[in-house]
A and B are shown apart, each in its own frame.
Chain A
Amino acid sequence: MEFAWSPEQQAFRERVRSFLRAELPADWTDIASQSPGSLAVTNFSLEFCPKLAAAGLLVPHWPVEYGGAGATPWEHFILGEEMWRMGEPRGPQYYNVNWLGPSIMKYGSAAQKDEHLSLIAAGKAIWCQGFSEPSAGSDLAAMRTRADAVDGGYRINGSKIWTSYASLAEYCFLLAKTSQGKAGVSVFLLPMSTPGIEVHKIPSVVGDGDIHEVFFTDVFAPADCLLGAEGQGWEIARYALHFERVGIPRYALARRVLEEIVATLDREGRFADAHVRTRAGQSYAICESARMLVYRVLDQRAKAMPQSAETSIARYAVVQAERTVAEFALDFLPEAMRGIGQKLIDTHHKRAITAGIAAGAAEIQLNLIADQLLHLPRA
């Protein structure tokens, strides 16, 4: 047991920081104040990610055969911490490197790997995730979108909702029912240009481009769009969610925002107050706890240990960390939310509210902890 970064890991972090210092433009903070799914950030990501790829910093944690460098989950997260801390210049493409690519690697055919992994590893792919439906949010198994077998493939009918990045995505990682029950869930890698797909933006408080409705009307999906076997979708979704739930190092931006708040309060002579310092300290400690609980999961990943409820523990801790820092800002630096303060703080606040809802509601994480870690009896 030991908790220090190795010299190689520290050097890797410095390499990422140098890259960011060199490549982020002067107006990046303005761009980043829009959501990862906005047109501005998405377009930025399509210029930025190929540069990251060329520098070997887009998918270093992927195996060499898929364009990576075979680095460990630790490098994956060092990279993620530095990116998220800066407001995520990879835009929606963080999805691809965190969970989408690994899911295709594990379950995809040779042709799917050729087509999709090379595009993702080049920094040129925008995906959306078709999981939630109007009647299937936390209760994902209640989904109604159907994929009926037809000659040469499937005919898909139904709708998805809260779909991030859908209006600009080229592909959808889509869950649909090929038969009843969890055993009837299948995954399709579907081009969004397929006839019969309609996308509606949903205006939101978290930013443009972040949530949509997606309608599927007699959409034909060729058989080679199916990821894994028919009916393997529940297993694939769980695999993907494990990486998604502990995927974004949200504590890293929360920590940076806390630094900004503290620096501002200090500059204004307000940081000597014991109450302010205590609240700041509490927020800081909660961020650090989330960081350690995430690192615990990474350690398990690095050792190829089985997925466990530690993922849910880490996810819940991260939700608390983001919210605590956002509340601290609202209490002590409300001007940041009134249009004259730092944009980063405002950006963080918009994102903080999503963490407890996306990738399975926070309450679902608590259910999983109660069941799988504490082994509490079921109702």
Chain B
Amino acid sequence: MDFELNEGQAVVQDALLGMFADYRALPTGACGFFEPAPELDRMLEESDFFSLALMEGYGALDAALFAYEAARLPFLVEVGASALVAPLLGEGGLPRPIALADDRGGAIRNLPGARTLILLEDGVAKVASLEGAEIETLSSVLGYPFGKLANPDALPTRTLGDGSGAALAKWWRVALAAEGAGLLQAALDATVDYVKQREQFGRPIGSFQAIQHRLAVCAQLVSGCRWLALRAADSGSESEAAVAALYVQDQMRHVVNDLHQFSGAIGLTREYPLHLWTYRLKALQGELGGIVAQADAAMGVFSGETA
């Protein structure tokens, strides 16, 4: 095992972080419920970052690191479905952004603006082009564009082969976990900065042990989320993917609530960026069946494994 980036990974990381440098600064003024970054999206696509998982010498772990780092930005770029899910289903090069859904008639995250939809339906993966599809944009506080297909049953789909449903669920879980871990880390970092500056009772609120201990617990949980997500990406194990998604969905409730608590009323405003991470997390919390479905999947392959 090696928990540090290898040489190739460090090169990719440096290139990515260089590209992200102009997007670290928070949007000024009142933000939306999410902040798109079309120029960054275009640069990433032109630089072929979404094909990382299929490049020689690279793989799913590198794509997961990409999803993790992108999620730390206060801007929204669709990475998980494009960089992890589609290529690892053997569907690299699909028009993107890509939306994922397990209910074609429901509210679908990232659907407005998406050019491809990957569906988990009847236990298999199906791919649909969204060119010409009528999409109704929904109004949601959760930090992604949500939309609904106007005529879901009329959408033509291409069904992938046997085992594609399990593969889709697996990589979707990895993508969800990696993105969730990045969002959690960004929200934690912002809150740690805030409690060092915000003074009450004549001292920074971050000096109170009541807050320190809870933030320390958050740091532990967030770190666990990251390593579980990256391990699952590296191994490609269905069990580890389910565990990673389960842990992220399970612990994000605790972390998000604490981070909002420590940010007080400013954390409720849209001029402060906390919601750009935490309300995306809330969107991910129940995705793909939430903790009940992830636990069911994790426990299905639990028995008889090595320590």
Contacts and interface: CB of A to CB of B under 8 A. Distances in A.
B224 A262 contact: no
Contact of B195 (A13, A278, A376): A376
Interface of B is mostly: helix
A366 B299 contact: no
Interface stretch (B2-10, B107-115, B143-151, B264-272): B2-10
A288 B221 CA distance: 12
Interface of A is mostly: helix
A280 B225 CA distance: 18
B21 interface: no
A347 B173 CA distance: 35
A289 B224 CA distance: 5
Interface in B1-40: 1-6, 9
Nearest to A263: B303
- Max count, chain B CB within 10 A of own CB: residue among A284, A293, A378: A284
Nearest to A378: B207
Interface of A: 1-5, 13, 74, 81-82, 85, 252, 255-256, 259, 262-263, 266, 271, 274, 277-282, 284-286, 288-290, 292-293, 295-296, 298-300, 303, 312-313, 316-317, 363, 365-367, 369-370, 373-379
Given A4-B1, A281-B243, 19 more contacts: A3-B234, A252-B307, A266-B303, A274-B292, A280-B299, A281-B291, A282-B295, A284-B298, A284-B299, A289-B225, A289-B228, A290-B224, A303-B4, A312-B216, A363-B213, A365-B216, A373-B219, A376-B196, A377-B196
A281 B295 CA distance: 4
Contacts of B48: none
B1 A366 contact: no
Contacts of A280: 295, 299, 302
Contact of B216 (A82, A274, A298, A366): A366
Interface of B: 1-6, 9, 61, 65, 192, 195-196, 203-204, 206-209, 211-213, 215-217, 219-221, 223-225, 227-228, 230-231, 234-235, 240, 242-243, 246-247, 250, 291-292, 294-296, 298-299, 302-303, 306-307
A317 B212 contact: no
B120 to A, nearest CB: 19
Closest 10 CB pairs of A and B: A281-B295, A289-B224, A369-B216, A370-B212, A292-B227, A285-B247, A366-B216, A299-B3, A377-B207, A278-B295
Given A281-B294, A299-B3, A377-B204, A3 B235 contact: yes
Given A1-B230, A377-B206, A285 B246 contact: yes
- Max count, chain B CB within 10 A of own CB: residue among A300, A366, A376: A376
A366 B296 contact: no
B302 A285 contact: no
Contacts of B4: 1, 299, 303
Contacts of A255: 307
A2 B234 contact: yes
Contacts of A317: 220, 224
Contacts of A74: 1
Nearest to B214: A366
Contact of A376 (B61, B207, B225, B307): B207
A261 to B, nearest CB: 11
A277 B299 contact: yes
Given A2-B234, A280-B295, A369-B220, A295 B3 contact: yes
Contact of B291 (A4, A282, A312, A367): A282
Nearest to B298: A281
A313 B212 CA distance: 14
Contact of B1 (A3, A279, A373): A3
Contact of B220 (A279, A293, A363): A293
A293 B212 contact: no
A295 B1 contact: yes
Given A2-B1, A376-B207, A316 B307 contact: no
B216 A288 contact: no
Nearest to A282: B250
A376 B206 contact: yes
A199 to B, nearest CB: 35
18 contacts: A1-B234, A2-B2, A5-B1, A266-B303, A271-B299, A279-B295, A281-B291, A281-B298, A284-B243, A284-B299, A286-B247, A289-B221, A289-B225, A295-B3, A316-B216, A363-B213, A376-B215, A379-B203
B235 A316 contact: no
A375 B216 CA distance: 10
B224 A3 contact: no
Contacts of A366: 212-213, 216-217
A118 B246 CA distance: 47
Contacts of B9: 1
Contacts of A2: 1-2, 6, 61, 234
A262 to B, nearest CB: 6
Contacts of B306: 13
Nearest to B207: A377
Given A277-B296, A316-B217, A259 B1 contact: no
Contact of B246 (A3, A82, A281, A299): A281
B67 to A, nearest CB: 14
B5 A293 contact: no
Contact of A288 (B204, B215, B228): B228
